[in-house]
Chains A and B, each alone.
Chain A
């Protein structure tokens, strides 16, 4: 008898019935594998039939007993989580568990948060800004105090904003103050669409405050020197590195090192300003999307293991400033120069800074008000 079953998420499979289980689940054979799941109601089968084969072909032999986990993350963490997922899976299996299926989704931090709010079934979110996770919390998907649940403000790794300049630093740019000079072109993404660019803006603001300048006026002058506002960090890197526009790129430290590695160390130099920001990309468990106790165990282990020396070493390797250097290779740690770092608390937390600076009609918008 031909049956359609529902395996997990939105994955269905079709095949001949092998056996029915007392809990209502059935096992089918699709020809090359046996799958167990809940039978799909007869009425819906027709509609699903068209999608089922496609969906089945997309899943690489789902292991039925093993738990699945979806980590919804932001753009620059791909390399990190690719390695971390492998390391974590190996560790999880070594603890006597079945090999988990870990899926990842990457995109802009804000739009990823929006997807989770609109129903993307992530058990774990690892985003760029705490304000994005706050939005998910506001939608009732996780507790309001989520940031207190894990060490270091739920941020297993941190990063900062630095300058990438052309080889030999022809314009002699040393610190934020040099960027507002006449004729200097600064490349940064749009703070309205890019989480990283908000940090760029705040870092400039912090420098101006500490150096006795009017921060609002300083940031205004800085953005007057920006010829292209790309929508994301990667777009800005391309504009600067491949299109040859601009004298300095404001970038995430990890992105800058990655760009250096990928696009040629001999073409660019990294300049570290006197003051920058302490960006804390937070992680959280999405309560509302946890289906079983086993899945909760897996998700909690996934996040907690990020703080293990082994995972912290991975973060260092991928150019993040992590907390525990005990297992990291010394050269990965030595890479990061010390500089004065200002956290988001300095700006009153995201709940205050976000609307004040980047909200509709906020300080950033006023830079561009029509004369």
Chain B
């Protein structure tokens, strides 16, 4: 090596891939997502717009569609915070303490994914349906779970159960416990340690978990279909309404609602971008020490 000082450009390239590799990876990703994700998305929007914007928008203003949108937002507003709270607690318990049967516990948390949504719905009907002891009592007391909002929320929480916890666990494993231990040694309270040390470290994972959980909560069909009763304008969420409309040969209305659901995903992305910009300095700090 000559004795010229290292140029910044060369320094950066030491922890970055060669240009060619970088563009090859980007190319693979763009192609893969193009075929696997963008194409279906475009197909949905194309179907929605076959009769023009006006028809698509008009179908969203329909009474049943509005009720479905409200219901779906309500479902997400209840089930996502529940899952976030559970996820944080479970991740803390699993990564900050050593106990026997950890892999077993994590597997139990994963379990809802491996249960077919139809079976998930069936489980809830078996537990809370009018023909079970518990469900019979609840119905008799005037608080039915199945075919009402509580059952739909329960089904949604079930199918989205692992999201937040499973996002947080790998990150918190990666972080280790040293920082929290230091804070505690310095006299910080448990809550303060969590808020000022742990939370900033896991914020991205938490955000991704919530995003995934939210998307799935709004889009879930199989399990909700079993417990919803499919009453128009009452217990029909957006995915259920889409299926109904599709079966009525109202493809424009069905796909408009589907496109709307995809757009709701984009809104959560907008929130993420805003968060990213607000914390731009901190991100810069992690990237360029």
A and B touch in the complex (CB under 8 A): yes
A254 to chain B, nearest CB (A): 12
A104 to B232, CA, bound (A): 6
A139 to B246, CA, bound (A): 32
Q: Would B248 and A119 count as touching, CB distance under 8 A? A: no
Q: Would A58 and B70 count as touching, CB distance under 8 A? A: yes
Asked whether any CB of chain A lies closer than 8 Å to the CB of B209, the reply is no
Asked whether any CB of chain A lies closer than 8 Å to the CB of B38, the reply is no
A125 to chain B, nearest CB (A): 13
Residues of B within 8 A of A139 (CB): 131
A57 to B75, CA, bound (A): 13
Pick the contact of B78 from A9, A50, A234 — CB < 8 Å?
Answer: A50
Cβ-Cβ contact count across A and B, 8 Å cutoff: 85
Q: Would A57 and B247 count as touching, CB distance under 8 A? A: no
A106 to B148, CA, bound (A): 16
Asked whether any CB of chain B lies closer than 8 Å to the CB of A6, the reply is yes
- Closest residue on chain B to residue A44 by CB atoms: B143
Pick the contact of A120 from B71, B147, B247 — CB < 8 Å?
Answer: B147
Q: Would A57 and B130 count as touching, CB distance under 8 A? A: no
Of residues 23 through 45 on chain A, the ones whose CB sits less than 8 Å from some CB of chain B are 44
B65-89 interface code vs A (CB 8 A; 1 in, 0 out): 0010011001000100000000000
B3 to chain A, nearest CB (A): 69
- Closest residue on chain B to residue A112 by CB atoms: B230
> In the complex where A79-B248, A118-B125 touch, is A103 in contact with B232 (Cβ < 8 A)?
yes
B222-262 interface code vs A (CB 8 A; 1 in, 0 out): 00011001111110000000001011110000000000000
Asked whether any CB of chain B lies closer than 8 Å to the CB of A51, the reply is yes
Q: Would A70 and B231 count as touching, CB distance under 8 A? A: yes
Asked whether any CB of chain B lies closer than 8 Å to the CB of A110, the reply is no
Majority-rule SS of A interface residues: helix
Residues of A within 8 A of B60 (CB): none
Q: Would A60 and B63 count as touching, CB distance under 8 A? A: yes
> In the complex where A105-B230, A262-B249 touch, is A118 in contact with B131 (Cβ < 8 A)?
yes
- Closest residue on chain A to residue B234 by CB atoms: A58
Asked whether any CB of chain B lies closer than 8 Å to the CB of A10, the reply is yes
A325 to B168, CA, bound (A): 66
- Among A9, A120, A234, residue most surrounded by chain B Cβ atoms (within 10 Å): A120
Asked whether any CB of chain A lies closer than 8 Å to the CB of B139, the reply is yes
A48-73 interface code vs B (CB 8 A; 1 in, 0 out): 10110011011110000000001000
Asked whether any CB of chain A lies closer than 8 Å to the CB of B146, the reply is yes
Offer 29 A-B interface pairs, CB within 8 angstroms, sorted by A.
Answer: A9-B148, A10-B143, A10-B144, A48-B143, A55-B149, A57-B70, A58-B70, A58-B233, A59-B234, A60-B67, A79-B248, A103-B233, A106-B232, A106-B247, A107-B225, A107-B230, A111-B225, A111-B226, A118-B125, A118-B129, A119-B130, A119-B131, A119-B139, A120-B146, A120-B147, A121-B144, A121-B147, A259-B249, A262-B249
Q: Which residues of A contact B (CB under 8 A)?
A: 6, 9-10, 44, 48, 50-51, 54-55, 57-60, 70, 75-76, 78-79, 103-107, 111-112, 115, 117-121, 139, 232, 234, 258-259, 262-263
